Amino acid sequence: MVKLDVNAKKAILKYRADGWTLKDIALQLRDDFELFVSPQAVHSWLKVFAKTNSLVRRPGSQRPSKITPSVLRLVEAKMQCDDTTAVQLHELLLRSGIFISLSTVNRSRRMLGWTFHGTRYCQMIRLPNKTKRLDFAKKCLEECDDFNNVIWSDETSVQLECHKRFCFRKKNAKPRYKPKAKHPIKVHVWAAISRQGATQVTIFEGWMLHSTFKSVKNILSPLGFIPHSLEHTNSCRITIQNIPQE
């Protein structure tokens, strides 16, 4: 609801005294004050002015807010499950005896600072692997490992010919079809880093089988994976996230 300032209220009284209609007053307020109010809103304020004879709002004349501190505390507690939707939150509040609208639920979440964003990807770690990772970290701290001779490698796959799944179209227009390849082109990108610097980026197709990966150093060295300073020391440690299978 648009709030009328004192100048707009004075203009309403002037126009009404001159015999203007409610519709003409509402249109003139748009031109003079850029206030988009309806004729009904103008009529409602004139009724309030007839009772109070005042251009300012009386203290405490507004309705009490339904978003009380207890409601905010309950919403904050329910939102600890961060994938709770507004509809689910509304149902939880109704079960708790708090009868507020869905829009009020959304407003209370915004007041608490909750905003909606997409999630980010992270890998799940099983409990036994968590223990192993902790033991590995403790061992590195005890041995004061500086990782000077470690090459950290990783790979990713890039799939081509993937079109957008969303697009704009006019109302009542036919859906737009996007082509989709049955066997899209897919390439694999493989690279590594170390304290000596980054390696070259290797792009290949197909599978990296175990038979092709038996001699790691012979494969990686020609591709530039092993830095020149570590190539002849025989003390290079290569860390690979995904080991090829047979």
Cβ within 8 Å of residue 145, ≥6 positions away: 139
pTM for this one? 0.42
Q: HSE on the CB side for 6, CA within 13 Å?
A: 5
Mean pLDDT for 204-208 is 75
Rounded to the nearest 10 degrees, how much is the dihedral formed by the CA atoms of 52, 58, 61, 65?
150
CA–CA gap between residue 90 and residue 197 (Å, rounded): 54
- With helix as H, strand as E and coil as C, how does 134-156 read? HHHHHHHHHHCCCCCCEEEEEEE
The count of other CB atoms within 10 Å of the CB of residue 109 is 20
Tens of pLDDT along 15-64? 999 999 999 998 998 888 888 888 888 998 899 888 888 887 766 556 67
